[in-house]
Amino acid sequence: MSSLSVVIGVLTFRRQEHLRSLLPLLIDQVDRLPASIRAEILVIDNDPDASAESAVRDQHPLVRYVHEPVPGIATARQRCLDEAYGADLLQFIDDDEEPVDDWLGTMISAWRGYDQPAGVAGRIIPRFAVPPSDWIIAGGFFERARFPSGALVPAASSGNLLLDLNQIRAFGTSFDRTLGLSGGEDTLFTKQVVAAGGRIVFCDEAAVTDLVPAERSTRSWVLQRAWFHGNVAAETRLRLRSGGREWITRCQLVVGGALRAAWGLMRVASSTLRGNARTNALGWKLVHRGLGMAAGGLGRTQPEYAREAQVS
């Protein structure tokens, strides 16, 4: 079996406690790999104050720390991509996630077993700090799309994503830094990979759990996030449009978003009469996603990852 090099890319922003818990788990994942696979753990600290350095320093010879002071998740992901340039594979994971046993080996095996696609997307499972309300569970607000292993997917989250860097270099694909703190950089990136001819396959067995803190398990937070998702969907569609006039796409987004919001309100009204919590939650989710999409069509965007200390 030929040798292979893989970089585990960890993005972090002021979560030293999470990082200290995650790094030993990643070191254990590396220790499980066969000798033919060379691995490195790369931590990209996106805090201008470099707050994660103390949590990473002297952790392990395979852990490398890089400070990216320019705020923005897209900038941090691109820095990770640049720093991993010489490797064969890059495996993304976030600082508030935890991998299941043999996660990394399973992702690499999937890449090999499915004829070396441009990307392998793994499953992301929510891990709640406090039990969410029945209404939030009914609406599936934290459920991620799930597919059979080997299924082709049109886009993927970078929270659990393995990239074939040789193909990414050949495509010339990069994370769009102009998205700054708005989010959606991974959706745009992976859709561009697919548009360039790359395949992204799903691996259901290689899962990570994603921490949902208590402050996110609220109606206001999940509905605001639904708005952001609609807003990002609009922005992604505008950037991926090929030919035609931009105003046509914007009109389609405004009309489509308004229709989604109207249909969502109808579902809310119906659920109120019938006392159906799932229909009510899904209705409100559709309302806010539709409004976010319409706002994006009108050119109104709002960063999902805005920071108190600095916003770019």
Instruction: Tell me the per-residue pLDDT of 235-264, one tens digit each, with 9 for 90 and over.
Output: 888 888 767 788 888 999 999 999 999 999
**What is the domain count for the chain?**
2
pLDDT computed for residue 165 by the predictor: 97
The Cα angle at residue 184 between residues 201 and 7, in degrees rounded to 5:
55
pLDDT computed for residue 310 by the predictor: 37
pLDDT at 312 over 80: no
pLDDT computed for residue 180 by the predictor: 65
Asked if residue 18 and residue 69 are part of one domain, the reply reads yes
pLDDT at 121 over 50: yes
Q: What is the CATH number of the domain that holds 84?
A: 3.90.550.10
Q: Is 310 contained in some domain?
A: no
Asked if residue 23 and residue 109 are part of one domain, the reply reads yes
- Helix or strand (DSSP H, E) at 6: strand 4-12
**Residues 188, 233 contacting (CB under 8 angstroms):** no
**Residues 264, 287 contacting (CB under 8 angstroms):** yes
Asked if residue 114 and residue 223 are part of one domain, the reply reads no
Separation CA 46–CA 155 (nearest Å): 24
Average pLDDT over residues 19-33: 94
pLDDT confidence of 178, banded at 50, 70, 90? confident
Asked if residue 260 and residue 131 are part of one domain, the reply reads no
Asked if residue 149 and residue 244 are part of one domain, the reply reads no
pLDDT computed for residue 240 by the predictor: 81
pLDDT confidence of 308, banded at 50, 70, 90? very low
Q: Is 54 contained in some domain?
A: yes
**What is this structure's pTM?**
0.88
pLDDT computed for residue 304 by the predictor: 58
pLDDT at 232 over 90: no
Let me know how many helices (H) and strands (E) the chain has, helices first. 10, 8
Q: Which residues pair with 135 in a beta bridge?
A: none
**Where a domain ends, among 189, 216, 243?**
216
Domain with 25, as residue range(s), is 4-216
Q: Between these two residues, 248 and 118, which has the higher pLDDT value?
A: 118
Asked if residue 226 and residue 90 are part of one domain, the reply reads no
Asked if residue 186 and residue 145 are part of one domain, the reply reads yes
Residue reference for tokens 């990082």: 19
Least confident of 112-121, 280-289, 297-306: 297-306
**Where a domain ends, among 216, 240, 263?**
216
Average pLDDT over residues 267-292: 91
Least confident of 6-15, 57-66, 248-257: 57-66
pLDDT computed for residue 309 by the predictor: 37
**Where a domain ends, among 193, 216, 239?**
216
Residue reference for tokens 């400070």: 67
Could you give the 3-state DSSP secondary structure of residue 103? helix
β-pairing, 119-128 with 200-212?
Answer: parallel
**Residues 183, 305 contacting (CB under 8 angstroms):** yes
Separation CA 214–CA 283 (nearest Å): 23
What percentage of residues in the chain have a pLDDT greater than 70?
Answer: 94
What percentage of residues in the chain have a pLDDT greater than 90?
Answer: 75
Separation CA 172–CA 273 (nearest Å): 53
Asked if residue 224 and residue 212 are part of one domain, the reply reads no
Q: Is 305 contained in some domain?
A: no
pLDDT at 168 over 80: yes
pLDDT confidence of 303, banded at 50, 70, 90? low
Separation CA 234–CA 256 (nearest Å): 10
Asked if residue 181 and residue 277 are part of one domain, the reply reads no
Average pLDDT over residues 277-299: 93
Q: What average pLDDT does the chain have?
A: 90
Asked if residue 246 and residue 199 are part of one domain, the reply reads no
Asked if residue 129 and residue 69 are part of one domain, the reply reads yes
Average pLDDT over residues 77-103: 95
What backbone torsions phi and psi does residue 212 show, to the nearest 5 degrees? -110, 105
pLDDT at 64 over 90: yes
Closest among 17, 221, 18, 213 to 130, alpha carbons compared: 213
